[in-house]
Structure 1
Amino acid sequence: MATVELRFSAQPEHVRTARLVAAAVARRAGVDEAVLDEVRLAVGEACSRAVGLHRSHGITAPVRVALTEEEKAFSIEVGDEVPSAGSESSAAGGPGADEDADPEGEDEMGLAVISGLVDDVEVSSTDVGGLIRMSWPATPPPATAGS
């Protein structure tokens, strides 16, 4: 199991870099070429969401991204450090979190986009921060004999 970890300051211009790295690692992991655009878009949404949450809550900690290559799957975790506001939003698109206008409304829209792009997605939030975990099937390329 190989993992690539990224940490970047909560600036929108860094989201593009995260998308490019995610696509490259997904390709290497054996994610189908037809799905790579979905990977890019989902990572872009998740990272943009984390950046927006950090900025709107005045958090200076970096956004965390972990890209993990497993035997038959490729997963991405995007973490933020915005504590849960006591609302239990453990399901993508779940009810209840859009009571406070713009940031939460944009948050729900981003989660809806992600859940539309990714079949296997989990969203969790604790008093330490939030995490979006997404995964796709992967077929690693066969090992090449010789050089």
Structure 2
Amino acid sequence: MATVELLFSALPEHVRTARLVAAAVARRAGVDEAVLDEVRLAVGEACSRAVGLHVSQGIAKPVRVVLTEDEKKFSIEVGDDAPHQAVVGSAAAASGAPAATPSGSAAAHEEAADGEDDMGLAVISGLVDDVEVTADETGGLIRMSWPTTPAAETA
């Protein structure tokens, strides 16, 4: 199993680099050429979401992207270190279920961020058949995967 790990400062201009790296690794892993645009778009949405959360919450840690290839699938994990108050809302957004609204003084900020998160997560779930979104007080993680074609079949 081959793994590429990418750490980048939470700056919007680095999202493009993450998309390009993801597409290159996906191609090498054997992801169908017709799906590479979906990989690029999904990674761009996930990384933009993570950058936005880091910037809005003043988090200096880098955004993490882990690209893993094995015999049957290519997986990407995009992680952030932003505490998520509406854990149910983040996971529900990916599945199309209604999001929970957090209570307390941070509710307005979280609600505004949830609107952007909901759109990005909806785009990702429309592009990727196998997606999982998890979040808690230590950060969030979006896991996505695509099937690969073994090298013997592509020759």
Same fold (TM over 0.5): yes
Q: How many Å apart are 1:86 and its aligned residue?
A: 4.8
Aligned to 2:123: 113
CA shift digits 1:4-44 (9 cap, x unpaired)? 00000000000000000000000000000000000000000
* Residue in structure 2 matched with residue 90 of structure 1 by the alignment: 91
Greater per-residue helix proportion: 2
Q: Which runs of 5+ in 2 are unaligned?
A: 102-106
Instruction: Report Cα offsets for 1:30-63 as digits up to 9, x if no partner.
Output: 0000000000000000000000010011111100
Q: Which residue of 2 aligns with 1:17?
A: 17
TM-score (norm 2): 0.86
In the TM superposition, what are the counterparts of 1:18-97 in structure 2 within 5 Å? 18-88=18-88, 89-91=90-92, 92=94, 93-97=96-100
Percentage of identical aligned residues: 75
Distance in 2 (alpha carbons) for counterparts of 1:34 and 1:87: 33
CA RMSD of aligned residues (A): 1.6
Displacement of 1:97 in angstroms is 4.7
SS of corresponding position for 2:22: helix
Report the Cα distance in structure 2 between the residues aligned to 1:11 and 1:82, rounded to whole angstroms. 15
Q: What are the superposed Cα offsets for residues 57-96 of structure 1, whole Å, 9 maximum, x if unpaired?
A: 1111100000000111000000000112154232414422
If the length of structure 1 is used for normalisation, what is the TM-score?
Answer: 0.91
Per the alignment, residue 150 of structure 2 pairs with 140
Query: Counterparts of 2:100 and 2:49 in 1: how far apart (Å)?
Result: 14
Aligned residues: 143
